[in-house]
Amino acid sequence: MSRPAVFLDRDGVLNQEAGYIHRLEDLHLIPGTAQAVRQLNEAGWFCCLASNQAGPARGYYPQSHVDALHDRLCRLLDQEAGAKLDALYYCPYLSGPEGGKDPEFTRYSTWRKPNTGMLVAAAWDWDLDLSRSVMVGDKATDIDLAKNAGCTGILVTTGFGEQVLAGNYQHATQPDFVAANLLEAVWWILRSPRSSQLPNGFERL
């Protein structure tokens, strides 16, 4: 039986929103993030990063820098709470009209949110059930992705979340749940009917 997953945006959800991060040491976890991911790990959820990372397309830094940032992210999660991401997917592509500059990465991509390419690829690679999965993000495009992929969408008010709710960033959206941060989002997920179906799931309240 295919398993559900929690898909996590990166900036503004796992680490502090800091724009395009040029220095590795400027990537810092949002307080409580590592503990939240650890709770998902212990409950048996498949945890997967799903993030737009257009820095390479914009010519800001090479793709290897994005990979190095993700190495630091995973190391911080482990050091702080023994937490881990089961898989990492990101989209380095951006079309020319949207600001793509580097020819290697300047193109339209089905992986770029709110397109569903990253989630479909993850579902294929890891035998995941998208209809029972959750997408957690801080942008309207994260919630759009959830709806497009048939997932539950949670908007956190860290990162750009508050601006999205105020109507000052991207566009209006209707998430299934609004959480103050990833810890609160995980609290809601672990008390949903989905968790009771997992091998190590929490009992539903």
Given the residues 11, 102, 138, 142, the one annotated as active site: 11
Distant-in-sequence, close-in-space partners of 77: CB < 8 Å, separation ≥ 6: 14, 29, 33, 34, 37, 83, 84, 85
Active site residue 11: yes
Active site residue 9: yes
Task: Tokens for 164, please give them.
Answer: 């999205």
Count Cβ atoms below 10 Å from residue 12 Cβ, excluding itself: 20
Give dist(CA 105, CA 205) in Å, integer. Answer: 46
Structure-derived torsion over alpha carbons of residues 99, 11, 130, 205, reported in degrees to the nearest 10: -150
Active site residues: 9, 11
